[in-house]
Structure 1
Amino acid sequence: MTLTFDIKPTTNPTSDQERAAKLANPGFGRVFTDHMAVVQFSQDKGWHSARVESRANFPLDPAAAVLHYAQEIFEGLKAYKRDDGGVNLFRPDANAQIWNSAERMAMAQLPQNVFIEAVEQLVRIDRAWIPGGEGSLYLRPFMIANEVFLGVKPSAEYIFAVIASPVGSYFKGGPAPVSIWVSENYTRAAVGGTGGVKCGGNYAASLKAQAEAIAHGCDQVVFLDAIERRYVEELGGMNVFFVFDDGSLSTPPLGTILPGITRDSIIKLARDAGREVREEAYAIDQWRADAKSGKLKEAFACGTAAVISPIGKVRSASGDVLINGGEAGPVAMGLRKQLVDIQYGRSADPHNWIRDVK
């Protein structure tokens, strides 16, 4: 399917001076670019009205389906400024598989090429917003159901859009070791649910547990499985890896967790280096025991926003456990550098992950 995007530059662009001031310290997800890409869907027209226009509010009826039945999905990816001034996207074809989430949420299937074109068009028109250095332009493609009705059924109308936000480091101070709170009162997902889907409801359900983590002085929460409350699944918004004394890595298996693109990239890079990587269940008690015995050398979280963040401490009602003495480990930081160097075009791209935005 091919759609031609109608490009309508804003009539009130941010001045160079104001944009420079915002890019000096953008934080994460607080500053937004001038434009957005939008494509609409209806049962009679299919996908239509593709355009890039001024970032603005959507006109939403109070009875729009997304407001009542939460038919909503999203993705996250970044655009990186290379040293030569060019712009890279990292694995947008993988993010374009948003249709996997759409299928589970009974939403319209967006063609992969339309997804990528929407992202690229927005990057082209707002490329001046991409920070230099270790900054990047965070892109948020999302889809919402906007049919006006109160019956319980899949919507017949959708809006797909992409917005962009220049960002610095996800965690204050960069990739320093983070502390993790083990949630024993809340679970994130169950077999047959939406744990492997990038939908807003998963994140809404994690916020109470995240608040509990913060109340205990931790940066993030880690969830256990919903059946036995034993096996580590993922953090509130990131996948997790473990590094052992024999050089191998393990990460929880897919099913009830998100199939993160950063997770998949780390698996491939680690295996390229000759490391064994297992996708297997790992109990929280085993995590504690292995950390204390020294068998577990490192643990780290990963995701598009944070890339890789070492885990320094695991806290719970049962006590605290330090990982690698609370310090960042060489495997996590080595993988992080390797991945970031590929993203910024500073090193070879062995898996053809980079898409050059012309």
Structure 2
Amino acid sequence: MAGLLSMRNVAVLGATGSIGASALDVIARHPDRLRATVLAAGRNVEALVALCVAHRPLHAVIADPAGLPGLEAGLRAAGLATQAHAGDEILDALAASDTCDTVVAAIVGAAGLPSTLAAARAGKRILLANKESLVLAGELLMQAAHDAGATIVPVDSEHNAIFQCLPDAHAHAGLRRIVLTASGGPFRGRQRGELASVTPEQAVAHPKWSMGPKISVDSATLMNKGLEVIEAHHLFGVDGDRIAVWVHPQSLVHSLVEFVDGSTLAQLGLPDMRTALAVGFGWPERISSGVSGLDLLTQGGRLDFEAPDLESFPCLRLAFEALATGGTAPAVLNAANEIAVSAFLQRRMGFLAIPALVEETLATLPAAPANSLEVLREADRQARHLAEQSIPRMAALA
């Protein structure tokens, strides 16, 4: 099929995670158009070697330097010419290098920010799956992308839907509001009192999406949606009072965009990240993702929507408040949440302690202007330290 898309050399950062797996699935479907040239992972050397065997990249990076000998040995044993590297500095350098023109930014947490910024400053096409890059440093990232001519295509299904519904500046001029949809997570409909005994296993059992444990817990608390509100503000230049969230349990309508003339556009599809990734790789062309088309008749023929329960799931409220406060508040929100979710997954405190810990950290650390990466990193560091110190007390309150 003739088309506009030339060969793209792709760095997949976070290759061993669920989004990385989906990205590599799409890449493998288009060997004449897409090639994985850089694969990066955190600590899972065995999984990274297996991906190198399947995709034969030029470079493989393990974030933990202790994994470098194992990575080198695994690549030698497989007879691969792939170069092995370790550490954040080489990852940032590769993301900015001529080795790739497209970067899938799927490293979870604040650890994904430096490589995403490096790719933006180098003018890459960035398929952005790392929420924290925008939540922690949205203004800096978007400015860097603008200055270098980088293209940011969000691959969260919700933001990707908005991206598809707002293709040009004229559409933005007539925009009234954006509506992000949320599945409601595994505890939709439960009252606050019913959530006190939630276990990590229950929280990561998402009803629709296959995601890593941290993102799954964020979905269960609705913090995931709160972070997406902050992302949408930066990606599309829309203030928080023009962003709404609707709970939509079928997860078929990924977001809606309402215009001043009364029109509303929505993007629908099966809940599969490969659709959004294919949009990112091919845009403005459409390429096959491996995802079936949506037949609403076989999907039950109905679409339900409801308002989020902010009393049972206060993390969404906290995110709106952090966005309204501005400055370093979103960075504090994100950092405290990462500490809280980690503590919950380690069974060091309960599910309801997650929003409590985040709210206390936000109240304790006053927001400052977010005018440099150093300021944001310091706010992140302080929030993590404060949240970590508060865990024993939060656990005792549960």
- The answer to whether TM tops 0.5 is no
Normalised by the length of structure 1, the TM-score is: 0.27
> Larger % of helix: which?
2
Normalised by the length of structure 2, the TM-score is: 0.25
Q: Bigger relative contact order, structure 1 or 2, given CA contacts below 8 A and separation 6+?
A: 1
> Larger % of strand: which?
1
